[in-house]
Structure 1
Amino acid sequence: MASTPRAMANRALFQAFINCYLREFDSGHWLSSHEALDDKKNSENSFLVLELPFSRFSIVMEVAYYSVVGCHHFERIFSKPCNLIIDSEWAESDPLFILQIIIHDIYQSFRSSIEGSINSDNAIEKSKENEIEFLARLVDSAQVMAKFISSRSYDDELYSVDFLLTEQSSLYGHWLHPTPKSRQGMAFWALNAYSPEANGKFKLHYFSVDKNLIKQGSVLKHKASDIIKKDLHSTVKLDIPEHHFLIPIHPLQACFLKLQPWVLELLEQEKIIDLGALGVEFTPTSSVRTVTHREAQWMYKFSIPVKITNSLRSNMRDELEDGMAVERYLRKSGFLKENPSFGIVDDPAYITIERPDQPNVESGFEVILRRNIFSGEAGSGVVSILALAQDPLSSGCDLKVKSLLQHIIFDIAKSEGRTHKAVALDWFSKYWYCSIEPLILLYDQHGIALEAHQQNSLLDISGGYPRKYYYRDNQGFYLSLTHKKELSVIDEMSAMSDIFYQDEVIFEAISYYIFINQLFSIVYRMGADDLVEEKVLLIKIRELLISIKSKLKGVGLYFVDHILSCNKLSYKTNLLARVHDIDELHEGMERKVYATLNNPLHSQSSVTSIEVLDLGVVTNFNDKRDCYAI
């Protein structure tokens, strides 16, 4: 059983990667314990067999926990080369070694499929570059995860129900991503200072900037520049030229910006003045690039020169205005008052620099001001779905170690004198009514769909049970064309053509974000923790979806019918995106990274069929190749 931080990290990385692989490439061949190979018959677990024809390797994985929604746990891993002359022996194998073989097999499969086609030489050379890039991110993710696990192994704060502490607790990362902790662009020496998982703290880097270069916006009584000045001057008295404004920047981004020729020119002209690190120390939240400190009124969301999961994390110019406009509409619509258990962490102001040589494009100085509604004691009891659903800090296959959610359920059950299952079912219902149901109602009533994935979804569980849900992200809005006239009462929204979509497209996106990413993570967590079987929760979700239909009158009704009756759900193919080195946020490729997998909520599913449901492979690799930038 894995015990060292490196072994624990490799196991967790293997679990995340293989579950992606099973969904996106090859669902494998399942064996019951009595069908397994002779030297493994001492196990009561089932086994999963993968054949890698291009690498000439066979892999057998012992499945410690089978997940209906696709987050299986794996224990022992065996492999052997497939040689037609010599019959090799099965050998227990290192997880990272197996992942390297699988990655090579994926690329070999692609190169074989295009060999001899038009421009195949260029495509093959590009695929070799992508393979090296993927391997680099894989190793980076393993190293970073091991570092965090090593530093936090005996940290009781991992199980604290507190906004800031749980923002720093995601040691394993994205459960639907093959390299969940890759931080490409962040040097290893910088991890302690700038990573939430390492309890990083640092001062912001400030620039004094000529007013003529500034572009800013605010829906508040005060400008962003006034808020920033007041925020800094509460701790530091600073004299800057009268015609200048202050801009705080993440230290990593400041280093990047000071290497840009146009910035160096403005620094030389003193239109930009480098003030260095100032003020109090801030702490990164789980997104890494949004920072806060416990008593601050404002968080700052920065661009940083780091690729996290699939994308370089940058604030885009159009998104600066979008978040403010949508938040203004929500408050004007009355939806938040009508649904007091549902809230938005708003981003009401921004500031940036207009590049003299390229106006109206991202300069890298884009800063978003996010209201810190969790400052001080207000953060007590607030936790992200990501933190709740994360596997406990263990070998990855030891189901006896409690997750944060299991700790919470056990505490409630003890205080109420009830069974864990009864409490878990009640907890799940309260979670549904303050999060999933309002998300569907918002889309139905106002045509606003949110990318409400685990990391962007916060719950107030200060009383044990969920009582309020908060959504955070000024980049995650989809507006329905069906509601465009209504939404255009806010002038800025009428010009947002790039975030208005046909409802069929919106169905695809929020099927993934709300159901597969967020809701199914809670289903998996309760199942893996032996609180409530996954199949029982899937049946409950169907009942809740049927029940909510009486409250729906528009696009939300069609969406619920889609979820209940469609035999496929849209899924974001993070592994395929990584294979092709796609940054979907920066290449106009976001819709290209979606495919479909079998829907465990499909109306034809019964208790029996759900129990043995195979989520299947989302797409055939070769069928999908034309959709990607090879």
Structure 2
Amino acid sequence: MQLSHAAPESGRTPGELASANAFLNALLREWPQWSRQEQAPSSIAADASHADGGVLLPLPGHGLTLWLPLAHWSAAGRHLFALPLWLSPEGGPWRRCGLLELATLIAGEPAIVGPRDANRRGWLFVKRVADSALNLADAEAARLDELKRLAWPAAGYLDAEQGLVYGHAVHPTPKSRDEFSADDVRAYSPEFASRFALEWLALAPEAMWSVDCDGQAPAERLAGLVADDAALAAVGLPDGWLPLPVHPWQMRTLRSHPAYEHWLRAGKLKELGALGAEWHPTSSLRTLYAPKQRYMLKHSLSVRLTNSRRVLQPAEVARGALVHGAFMSPLGRRLSERCPTLSIMHERAAFAIALPDGGPLAESFVLLRDNPFAERDTAYVMATLCQDGPDGTPGMLGKLVAALAEREGRPVADAAERWFAAFLEVALRPFLIAMSDFGFLFSAHQQNMVLELADGYPSRVHFRDCQGTTFSEATIRQLEAHVPGIEAARELQFSQAEINRLCGYYLIVNNVFNVISALGAAGAADEMRLAARMRGFLVALKDEGLAEPAFVDYLLDAPEIESKGNFMICLRNVNETTEPDGSFRSYVPVSNPIYHCAP
């Protein structure tokens, strides 16, 4: 299967380099039988010679060896590869190897996937790799000029949300959408800068399920949503009925559900059609943004994205109320006072079509999340800020520190270190304090963190997606008198070793180490100098007297920390939402530069 898009000046198809980088970084984290070499094999063409050498990867089941050229080797673990890739039979000549051929070979390599899995799930995996690569190629071709211009200070909040064209930087299928057609991808995906009106339903009270987190009645909450949109406000509803916004793609799924048909036949549900303002999918695809609305909307979508099918579960929906209650408690207020740069994008309410037995129809869930951003605010989702530029050029973060260096008349490396130091104080400190002194645990990965800039430097961090938040046992006991239902948080209880693993991956490997890798790949900083600065920050934080320093000690003292195994999760078709144990078992050790830079 070949990508059929016109090649840019480099001779590569659009998006090919980004897809290869995400695939190879995911593979090399989880499969240790490779070696880094300083020079390409002598029989390979001269264009495969790169300053950082490359990686030799044997495929013994096929009697083959791969040569993966390196444009940048990252001490923080996310490398930049160069194309073309090369393949050789044992003792034979080298030839070029495309990504889909590589994916097919890997999926059938018993040494990597195991004898039981070879050729068993491989075709689904290869199909997802192909679909992702084609989606990414289409998106880069469509958005190339915008990607090149994506930079502070001209870019605003929405530009960054819809600028995540390359998706997860360490994943074999960063842009696969199993149930979407090619037309659906273009119509509903942020990487195509799509926008659309919502479908609206009118429901009798008995046909609506709802939950809130601050006591406001569902009718009042939805009235506020409607009042923000003049076109909606002009639509009359029967007395006592409530409006429900539905993602237009998800409406197809709902129409065939028995509960939907039940209320429709009973005369308790009416379709109002596509109405009102245009909404924009954000980097998370199922979360929608409209600049003049007081809320963002997070919908259930019956689509598999990266590692899970994105249908919200009742326990996930309920967590928004628990997080809001925790922050309104005396303990939460003390945390907010202690960490003034941390802002939580609370989920104020959730709605769904009711099942006949009174429960929620999960496929119809919609969450109302705080919207603190104007369209032009310089507040950027971290995944886009750290994304590579097109065809290996510097991304947003590299261009940002270069602009700061020019403005301030200092070397780029100095500007990068100053920026990184501010990032540690503004964005990392609150999560470490919350964990160590308050027992609040956040899955603060790159798509859950929005970094607000003031004059180019980090000034505030916004955390979103309460589904990935929980609390220590001691904290749950403190909150019981203040937060009804907080006992449910015990369903997500972790040992210290599990906390180290999960927070080490989400907050550190996926987030902070990606910042270091992005600055290194842009040629803006020495990565080990940034790791040393981070070590100094952690030592100073510990010296302040943390109540529970175990996680900080782990970061300082562990030669290796753990990373989620996205490659094998994808290859084995694990759904993280319903099979969390499969995700937990996937974790693999990666080198910890914080430890290795110790004096």
TM-score calculated relative to the size of structure 2:
0.92
The separation in 2 between residues aligned to 1:351 and 1:5, in whole angstroms, is: 50
Equivalent in 128, 131, 143 of residue 140 of structure 1: 131
Tell me the secondary structure at the aligned position of residue 454 of structure 1.
coil
Aligned to 2:4: none
Tell me the secondary structure at the aligned position of residue 153 of structure 1.
helix
Aligned to 1:354: 354
Equivalent in 281, 286, 296 of residue 284 of structure 1: 281
Shift of 1:44: 4.8
Tell me the secondary structure at the aligned position of residue 60 of structure 1.
strand
The separation in 1 between residues aligned to 2:488 and 2:35, in whole angstroms, is: 51
Residue pair 2:136, 2:166 contacting (<8 A) in 1 also: yes
**Structure 1 stretch displaced more, 478-487 or 426-435:** 478-487
Tell me the secondary structure at the aligned position of residue 441 of structure 2.
strand
Aligned to 1:610: none
Q: 1:44 to 1:15 in 2, by over 3 A?
A: closer
**Structure 1 stretch displaced more, 40-49 or 282-291:** 40-49
Tell me the secondary structure at the aligned position of residue 363 of structure 2.
coil
Q: 1:305 to 1:571 in 2, by over 3 A?
A: same
The reply to whether residue 23 of structure 1 matches residue 17 of structure 2 is: no
- Superposed counterparts of 1:229-248, under 5 Å: 229-233=223-227, 234-235=229-230, 236=232, 237-248=234-245
Residue pair 1:79, 1:90 contacting (<8 A) in 2 also: yes
The reply to whether residue 32 of structure 1 matches residue 20 of structure 2 is: no
Shift of 1:266: 2.1
Shift of 1:310: 0.8
Counterpart of 1:381 in structure 2: which amino acid?
T
Counterpart of 2:155 in structure 1: which amino acid?
V
Aligned to 1:151: 142
Residue pair 1:284, 1:291 contacting (<8 A) in 2 also: yes
The reply to whether residue 528 of structure 1 matches residue 521 of structure 2 is: yes
Shift of 1:196: 1.1
Counterpart of 2:437 in structure 1: which amino acid?
Q
TM-score calculated relative to the size of structure 1:
0.87
The reply to whether residue 98 of structure 1 matches residue 97 of structure 2 is: no
The separation in 2 between residues aligned to 1:223 and 1:183, in whole angstroms, is: 36
Residue pair 1:482, 1:503 contacting (<8 A) in 2 also: no
The separation in 2 between residues aligned to 1:320 and 1:305, in whole angstroms, is: 16
Aligned to 1:330: 327
Q: 1:11 to 1:494 in 2, by over 3 A?
A: same
Residue pair 2:213, 2:320 contacting (<8 A) in 1 also: no
Equivalent in 149, 152, 171 of residue 177 of structure 1: 171
Shift of 1:596: 2.9
Counterpart of 2:546 in structure 1: which amino acid?
K
The separation in 1 between residues aligned to 2:217 and 2:366, in whole angstroms, is: 13
Aligned to 1:61: 68
Equivalent in 495, 501, 514 of residue 508 of structure 1: 501
Q: 1:165 to 1:603 in 2, by over 3 A?
A: closer
Residue pair 2:79, 2:517 contacting (<8 A) in 1 also: no
Shift of 1:283: 0.6
- Superposed counterparts of 1:578-593, under 5 Å: 578-589=570-581, 591-593=583-585
Counterpart of 1:493 in structure 2: which amino acid?
I
Residue pair 1:14, 1:99 contacting (<8 A) in 2 also: no
The separation in 2 between residues aligned to 1:80 and 1:383, in whole angstroms, is: 39
Shift of 1:293: 1.1
Shift of 1:129: 5.0
Q: 1:512 to 1:485 in 2, by over 3 A?
A: same
The separation in 2 between residues aligned to 1:300 and 1:604, in whole angstroms, is: 43
Tell me the secondary structure at the aligned position of residue 7 of structure 1.
coil
Residue pair 2:14, 2:141 contacting (<8 A) in 1 also: no
Aligned to 1:621: none
Give the root-mean-square deviation of aligned CA atoms.
2.3
Deviations 1:446-482 (A, max 9, x none): 1011110111111111311101111111211131123
The reply to whether residue 370 of structure 1 matches residue 364 of structure 2 is: no
Q: 1:94 to 1:496 in 2, by over 3 A?
A: closer
Residue pair 1:584, 1:593 contacting (<8 A) in 2 also: no
The reply to whether residue 74 of structure 1 matches residue 87 of structure 2 is: no
Aligned to 2:445: 453
- Superposed counterparts of 1:419-458, under 5 Å: 419-458=411-450
The reply to whether residue 211 of structure 1 matches residue 205 of structure 2 is: yes
The separation in 1 between residues aligned to 2:28 and 2:341, in whole angstroms, is: 37
The separation in 2 between residues aligned to 1:530 and 1:80, in whole angstroms, is: 29
Residue pair 1:78, 1:90 contacting (<8 A) in 2 also: no
Gaps of 5+ in 2: 1-6
Deviations 1:434-456 (A, max 9, x none): 11111000111210111101111
Shift of 1:317: 0.9
> Which consecutive aligned stretches of 4+ in structure 1 deviate over 6 angstroms post-superposition?
none
Shift of 1:415: 1.7
Tell me the secondary structure at the aligned position of residue 491 of structure 1.
coil
Q: 1:363 to 1:63 in 2, by over 3 A?
A: closer
Q: 1:602 to 1:434 in 2, by over 3 A?
A: closer
The separation in 1 between residues aligned to 2:265 and 2:246, in whole angstroms, is: 19
Tell me the secondary structure at the aligned position of residue 369 of structure 1.
strand
The separation in 2 between residues aligned to 1:253 and 1:129, in whole angstroms, is: 31
Equivalent in 573, 576, 579 of residue 565 of structure 2: 573
Counterpart of 2:195 in structure 1: which amino acid?
K
Shift of 1:593: 4.0
Q: 1:190 to 1:157 in 2, by over 3 A?
A: farther
Residue pair 1:6, 1:142 contacting (<8 A) in 2 also: no
Counterpart of 1:414 in structure 2: which amino acid?
E
Shift of 1:269: 1.7
Residue pair 2:103, 2:126 contacting (<8 A) in 1 also: no
Q: Report % sequence identity.
A: 24
Counterpart of 1:293 in structure 2: which amino acid?
A
**Structure 1 stretch displaced more, 204-213 or 448-457:** 204-213
Tell me the secondary structure at the aligned position of residue 530 of structure 1.
coil
Counterpart of 1:103 in structure 2: which amino acid?
A
Aligned to 2:457: 465
The separation in 1 between residues aligned to 2:544 and 2:553, in whole angstroms, is: 13
